Amino acid sequence: MSVWAILAAAGRGDRLGLDRPKAFAPLNDRPLIAESLERLDASEWIEGIVVAAPPEWEEPCILVAEEVAAGKVAATVTGGESRGESVRAALAEVPEGAAVIVVHDAARPLVTDEMIERVLTGLEDGWDGAVPGIPLADTVKRVDGETVTETLDRTGLVAVQTPQALQSHRIALRSWRRVAGASASFRATGGW
């Protein structure tokens, strides 16, 4: 099975207050993106990688990929204003023969091969898409302005993360044209 990864790295990271995009925030004396690139490149599941880079940061992304010897990086594209636009731009560089697209956020650098395997196993079970979900431990409140109106029951709620896997290039293209987030994409194509 041909599995390609899209590394979504175009986020500005405004909340971090840095003078650079989030993917280039420092982590152990190197850019954050380096860790995700190394881990995706080392994965036995991933055949190729397309990076969606922040505008005007395409060349630094290529240089980081070269520095960490991420030989599976096939292309770097300019990301868009939203995650959906960035993924759509990267999808254009994924070969038509790819059976599965795995979308991963550079802001989550600690992806493991086991996590990639788990989302791919979900696809083998017949689902169109799979995402890792972690049960919520925090209390969640609904607010109206500055007023708390309700405490939500956490039963059945999960925090969705990446990597997120989609079955087939055709489904991925159709999904990403309609919705911005991968999770919504899975639901829009009949997953879950």
**What is the pLDDT confidence band of residue 77, given thresholds at 50, 70 and 90?**
very high
User: Residue 190, class by beta-carbon neighbours within 10 Å (0-12 exposed, 13-18 middle, 19+ buried)?
Assistant: exposed
Whether the predicted pLDDT of 184 surpasses 80? no
Collect all residues with Cβ–Cβ distance below 8 Å to 181 and sequence separation of at least 6. 83, 84
Q: What was the pLDDT predicted at 172?
A: 55
Whether the predicted pLDDT of 188 surpasses 60? no
pLDDT, one tens digit per residue, over 1-42 is 899 999 999 887 778 878 888 899 889 999 999 999 999 999
Collect all residues with Cβ–Cβ distance below 8 Å to 163 and sequence separation of at least 6. 5, 102, 103, 104, 111, 115, 116, 119, 132
Average pLDDT over residues 64-92: 94
pLDDT, one tens digit per residue, over 96-130 is 889 999 999 999 999 999 999 999 998 888 888 89
Beta bridge partner(s), residue 8: 52, 105
Least confident interval from 19-28, 29-38, 161-170, 178-187: 178-187
Average pLDDT over residues 148-153: 95
Instruction: Establish whether the linkage from the previous residue to 163 is cis, with ω within 30° of 0.
Output: yes
